[in-house]
Amino acid sequence: MKQVYLDNAATTALRPEVIERMTDVLQNSYGNASSTHGFGRASKALLEQCRKNIASHFNISASEIVFTSGGTEADNLALRSAVRDLGVTEIITSKIEHHAVLHTAEQLKGEYNIKLNFVNLDDCGLVDYEHLETLLDNADKAIVSLMHVNNEVGNILDVVKVARLCKRNNVLFHSDMVQSVGHFKLDLKEITVDFMAASAHKFHGPKGVGFCYVRKESGLKPLIFGGEQERGYRAGTEAVHNIVGMDEALKMAYNNLDVEKAYVSGLKTYFIEQLESSIQNVSFNGGCKDVLNSTYTLVNVCLPIAPEKAPMLQFQLDLKGIACSKGSACQSGSSKQSHVLTAILDNENLKKPSVRFSFSIFNTKDELDYVINVLKEFVNS
């Protein structure tokens, strides 16, 4: 059976070069980076070189990078410390954020009785910047948390604009950039976020490692206590092999960005064209069809299928060897409707099955043709 992996927004395959470099570290650089002997110092040197390398991609200081287990931990670190330690009494976010932000915000509201406000969205799920300005004008000690690239529908936030609005109103700005790091050039001197989350497995790096960007002198305090690793921000022995793998994956992503972006963008454009020519009344959720103003890595497709037939779609795709997602990976095993689509679609379109297809450099047009044929056959059967 043919196997086609189109769930790259959930996780990506490791590049061979990343595996090679990680394997070398696992075999030869296994010292604890906190140890003072030669083995430990060698691991510490690797760790700090990776920190410098990663920081250089974003035009920031190495001291502003805190290694974490991934994006979820980074989001929690920024939001929880902002409320607990920085005096934040209000979180301004949107209803289509990743659950790492939404559930954390809801938990903080219950624990600290803070305000939780949601910025208005248009029919495509794009932020209403005028409403955001109104919220900021009336905010006290607040933090805005809005993701750069939406993981389900691919909308892109104008992070430069939001950062400027936040600075003008003396409000902190946190952005989950898990879907944009490694896929877009990000100059954090221009995008003046205070905190940013990233995860290696979204750009062909290993799972279980990411980082939080913490702007200098932010006053952020640790979430995990124990040792003095990560300058006290994040206790626990660092997984040097994972950090090295993330460094290698990020280096390759940015070194090859222009060529690989053009290739993956071509796949997305081709997929949209073939869907529209093969399936009558197919539609696209959010702004993902707008190739110039959405991420080039995914499309979220709403298929013209009767409600009684819809539950079988995901099963049939899996049966045909096609990996995709009905929402984010965190929701794919759930019977609940995507909270993102619930926020932006009307009841009629919510009854139809929506599927997220996300692409990478390892996909081909032949694979997309196979998927189109499977979808066409199912819709018309």
Q: Map tokens 């750009």 to a residue.
A: 203
For β-strands 195-199 and 172-176, DSSP reports them as parallel
With the CA atoms of 150, 206, 248 and 178 taken in that order, what torsion angle do they form, in degrees rounded to the nearest 10?
A: 10
Residue of 103, 84, 87, 85 whose CA lies nearest to 95? 103
3-state helix, strand, coil in the chain (%, to 5): 45, 15, 40
Cα–Cα distance for residue pair 375/378, rounded to 1 Å: 5
d(CA 355, CA 100): 21
* CB-based contacts of 327, cutoff 8 Å, min separation 6: 152, 338, 340, 341, 354, 356
- Burial of 46 by CB count in 10 Å (0-12 exposed, 13-18 middle, 19+ buried)? buried
**CB–CB of 105/133 below 8 Å?**
no
Residue from 50, 166, 288, 330 carrying the catalytic annotation: 330
In sequence order, the 6+-apart residues with CB closer than 8 A to the CB of 101 are: 75, 79, 93, 145, 147, 176
Active site residue 212: no
> Which active-site residues does the annotation give?
330
